[in-house]
Amino acid sequence: MSASSLNLDLHDLGVAALAARLAAGQVSSVEVTRHFLNRIQQQGSLGAFLATDPDASLAQARAADARLAAGERTPLLGVPLAHKDVFVTRDFPTTAGSRMLENYRSPFDATVVGKLAEAGMVTLGKLNCDEFAMGSANENSAYQTVQNPWDTSRVPGGSSGGSAAAVAARLVPAATGTDTGGSIRQPASLTGITGIKPTYGRCSRYGMVAFASSLDQAGPMARSALDCALLLSAMAGPDPDRDSTSLDLPAVDYATDLIATPAGGTSAKPLKGLRIGLPTQFFGAGCAPDVLAAVRGALAEFEKLGATLVDVSLPLTELSIPVYYVIAPAEASSNLSRFDGVRYGHRAAQYTDLNDMYKKSRSEGFGDEATRRIMIGTYVLSHGYYDAYYLKAQKIRRLIAQDFQTAFTQCDVIAGPVSPTVAWKLGEKSDDPVANYLADIYTLSSSLAGLPGMSIPAGFGAHGMPVGLQLIGNYWQEGELLGAAHALQQATDWHRAAPPAAASTRATGDSRA
């Protein structure tokens, strides 16, 4: 089969399907890479890309083709992806969505980037995100906003909004994301794709620009659970010399486990015996009726596959917002102190003395949300307020984690909505930080507990916008989450729906490409 006869639909193929064609020699990595690069350029990028470099991508693709020609067959060899711009990369600039790091070029690759490259994946570029991953709508990027491909007047979610929009619009088959309080799950939900935040410590944080170190975690975003499983198998694993919080558990082959389970289609009830816990607090008045209806529709499908639904309680859910918005800014204020214009980051052109240089450099380099969080974080850590805010928040964090363990005595996985509403209009909440914070209600508690969680497409809600179903597992249960999601995706088609913009995205150009 000639490559040109495949070119029309290469972008409709997911990671597994592309890998199969590459392995069978039906198409080369250079051809696949060119196809996606052309698509990114011709279709416009919805604001999703902050950097592309076709020469660098094609050099990686040629190397993958050489490995294929030498007979190597690994599950991701030659398949392209793009990285959220908080992962440092040698071949592309890294900004973390901030002016502070404009034109920054890392001398090394993040561990996760290196592992995916070793697996043979080709980098198409760097994806837009909220500044230092702080946000829920991608409107805090210093460079440009990102449009949701289902309706370009709406946000894609955040902070991994570029990753989500690019995957949903089929500009890339898969992307990396990071999730501190929901930034993989929420944009996946708002754009109708699949994303998983692993257990804290499952993937190395080395080379991820730090936001809140006790919460940050890397994960894959793609169109199916199988594709996420393929990526996560390559990304996960201990990194003892470079991230002491990465866990010393052997890497798992999640994808082979998925394919080997009866969810592959032999059994009518592949999820028989699975108890899905529904926290009452996730199904209350705070969630929009259209979102609840879609979530309930997906839960009914799980029941058809043999799962049983049980009620559970996570009584401290509401407190997850104040607790997270004390702890995350506290850690952020400490992490961002390194950007002083001397050791790292932008330096003001004119200043009178050292203090003036720090002040001007930081004022010019940080946007409003990063500045707000530095101020909140510095305040809650300061003498006299530490006990009242930071220490108190840490105590409640522990209680939130304990509530999950109580719930897991009654169920195997927990399910609910990801976001209380479908994607909102660009600009609708951009002047109201608290409105953005409140939208994180269903993702923050599992982040505080360090648990794995994922978002899987569950149909559509108001304005025809996608709705995601959240699955939360106990520690190290990524395989169970992916297995349940895969079973659902074998039986339903929600994850296959393509947005109208996948065919003709608005040509916005890439300001930095």
**Interacting residues with ligand GLN (CB under 6 A):** 133-136, 159, 179-183, 211, 328, 440
The C-alpha atoms of residue 428 and residue 328 are separated, in whole angstroms, by 24
The residue among 152 and 436 lying less far from ligand GLN, judged by its C-beta, is 436
Residue 56 C-beta: closest distance to ligand GLN, Å = 27
Residue 395 catalytic? no
Q: Quick count: other Cβ atoms within 10 Å of Cβ 87?
A: 27
Residue 160 catalytic? no
Q: Which of 60, 58, 36, 64 is nearest to 166 (CA)?
A: 36
Residue 370 C-beta: closest distance to ligand GLN, Å = 11
The residue among 179 and 301 lying less far from ligand GLN, judged by its C-beta, is 179
Residue 84 catalytic? yes
CA 294 to chain centre: 22
The C-alpha atoms of residue 431 and residue 303 are separated, in whole angstroms, by 42
Q: Which of 45, 136, 183, 189 is an active site residue?
A: 183
Single-letter amino acid code for the residue at 57: S
The residue among 93 and 219 lying less far from ligand GLN, judged by its C-beta, is 219
Q: Which of 28, 106, 159, 333 is an active site residue?
A: 159
The C-alpha atoms of residue 461 and residue 456 are separated, in whole angstroms, by 14
Q: Which of 290, 282, 320, 303 is nearest to 414 (CA)?
A: 282
Full DSSP string of 121-136: -EEEEEE--SGGG--S
Q: In this structure, are residues 182 and 163 in contact, taking their beta carbons and an 8 Å threshold?
A: no
Pairs from 137-140 (Cβ < 8 Å, separation ≥ 24): 137/161, 137/424, 137/426, 137/429, 137/430, 137/436, 138/162, 138/187, 139/426, 139/427, 139/430, 140/97, 140/367, 140/368, 140/369, 140/370
The residue among 156 and 182 lying less far from ligand GLN, judged by its C-beta, is 182
Quote the tokens at residue 429.
Answer: 């909440």
Residue 83 C-beta: closest distance to ligand GLN, Å = 15
Residue 282 C-beta: closest distance to ligand GLN, Å = 17
Q: What residues have CB less than 8 Å from 396, skipping those under 6 apart?
A: 316, 319, 323
C-alpha triplet 191, 100, 93: angle, nearest 5°: 65
The C-alpha atoms of residue 170 and residue 168 are separated, in whole angstroms, by 5
Residue 85 C-beta: closest distance to ligand GLN, Å = 13
User: Could you give the 3-state DSSP secondary structure of residue 218?
Assistant: strand
- The maximal CA–CA distance of the chain, rounded, in angstroms, is 73
The residue among 453 and 473 lying less far from ligand GLN, judged by its C-beta, is 453
Full DSSP string of 311-353: EE--TTGGGHHHHHHHHHHHHHHHHGGG-SSSSSS---S--SS
Residue 198 C-beta: closest distance to ligand GLN, Å = 13
Residue 276 C-beta: closest distance to ligand GLN, Å = 24
The residue among 299 and 321 lying less far from ligand GLN, judged by its C-beta, is 321
Q: In this structure, are residues 31 and 18 in contact, taking their beta carbons and an 8 Å threshold?
A: no
Quote the tokens at residue 327.
Answer: 């702890």
CA 327 to chain centre: 20
The residue among 293 and 319 lying less far from ligand GLN, judged by its C-beta, is 319
Residue 373 C-beta: closest distance to ligand GLN, Å = 8
User: Could you give the 3-state DSSP secondary structure of residue 454?
Assistant: strand
The residue among 214 and 313 lying less far from ligand GLN, judged by its C-beta, is 214
Residue 444 C-beta: closest distance to ligand GLN, Å = 8
Quote the tokens at residue 109.
Answer: 């690759």
**Strand ranges, E, within 60-128:** 80-84, 122-127
Single-letter amino acid code for the residue at 234: A
Residue 345 C-beta: closest distance to ligand GLN, Å = 19
Q: Which of 84, 126, 360, 429 is an active site residue?
A: 84
The residue among 3 and 438 lying less far from ligand GLN, judged by its C-beta, is 438
The residue among 22 and 155 lying less far from ligand GLN, judged by its C-beta, is 155
The residues assigned a catalytic role are 84, 159, 183
